[in-house]
């Protein structure tokens, strides 16, 4: 879907191979790496990213759910990595939707502050953190659409889905949003 100057595009892929200004990582509050997409980004990007994460930890002591921090991108074909922390799914009545929306919005704000034109997101919280992807996809896409309605700077917000099923789910959610 195109909102003003911003293309919002769900796409199948491995986020570590995307050429964009900013790659977003689904991190945890410790910022020390982990499994899933977090592990893949640190492996592909190399040790510089972790070194910067450690500096951020020293300065501010980690990153709470819903917030985001930014580092360089090491060996990745991006300028920056934004590390955001999605909520752990606990049934949906513990503020998860709001925290997930904040994770997307705070990531977009950091990317925009750093002059990014193109941003790639994974499907935050829908792996280890257990957020049902049908629900999470709607929040991800509506947060991106809302951002694009309010701001002009981004050319593309890409959602990189790791499986065909996840891509289908995002495409259906985009259709429901009236793309």
Task: Give yes or no: 38 in active site.
Answer: yes
Name which of 35 and 92 has its Cβ closer to ligand AR6.
35
Alpha-carbon gap, residue 175 to 112, rounded angstroms: 26
Name which of 35 and 115 has its Cβ closer to ligand AR6.
35
**What is the β-pairing status of strands 80-85 and 22-27?**
parallel
| Smallest gap from residue 179 Cβ to ligand AR6 (A) | 21
Residue ranges in the chain assigned as alpha helix (H): 36-45, 47-60, 96-113, 133-150, 164-176
Give one word for 89, left, alpha or beta, with left for phi > 0 and alpha for psi -120 to 50.
beta
- Which range binds ligand AR6 by CB under 6 A, 58-66, 104-112, 123-131, 146-154? 123-131
Cβ–Cβ < 8 Å for 82, 111: yes
**Position 127 contacts ligand AR6 (CB under 6 A):** yes
- Measured between alpha carbons, how far is residue 28 from residues 22, 143, 172 in Å? 18, 20, 28
Residue from 126, 135, 139, 143 touching ligand AR6 (CB under 6 A): that is 126
**Position 107 contacts ligand AR6 (CB under 6 A):** no
- Which range binds ligand AR6 by CB under 6 A, 30-38, 52-60, 108-116, 170-178? 30-38
Q: Which residue numbers are catalytic?
A: 38
Which residues form the interface with ligand AR6 (CB under 6 A)? 14-16, 26-28, 34-38, 40, 86, 122-129, 160, 162, 166
């Amino acid at each position: 879907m195109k909102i003003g100057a911003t293309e919002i595009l769900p796409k199948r892929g491995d986020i570590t191979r995307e050429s964009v200004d900013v790659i977003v990582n689904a991190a945890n509050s410790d910022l020390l790496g982990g499994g899933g997409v977090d592990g893949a980004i640190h492996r592909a990007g190399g040790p510089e990213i972790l070194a910067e994460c450690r500096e951020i930890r020293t300065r501010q002591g980690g990153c709470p759910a819903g917030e985001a921090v930014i580092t360089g991108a090491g060996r990745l074909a991006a300028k920056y990595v934004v590390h955001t922390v999605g909520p752990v799914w606990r049934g949906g009545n513990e503020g998860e939707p709001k925290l997930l929306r904040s994770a997307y919005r705070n990531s977009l704000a950091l990317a925009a502050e750093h002059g990014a034109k193109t941003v790639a997101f994974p499907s935050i919280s829908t792996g280890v953190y257990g957020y049902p992807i049908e629900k999470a996809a709607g929040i991800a896409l509506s947060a991106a659409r809302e951002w694009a309605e309010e701001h002009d700077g981004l050319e593309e917000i890409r959602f990189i889905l790791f499986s065909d099923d996840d891509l289908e789910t995002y495409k259906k959610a985009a259709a429901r949003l009236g793309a």
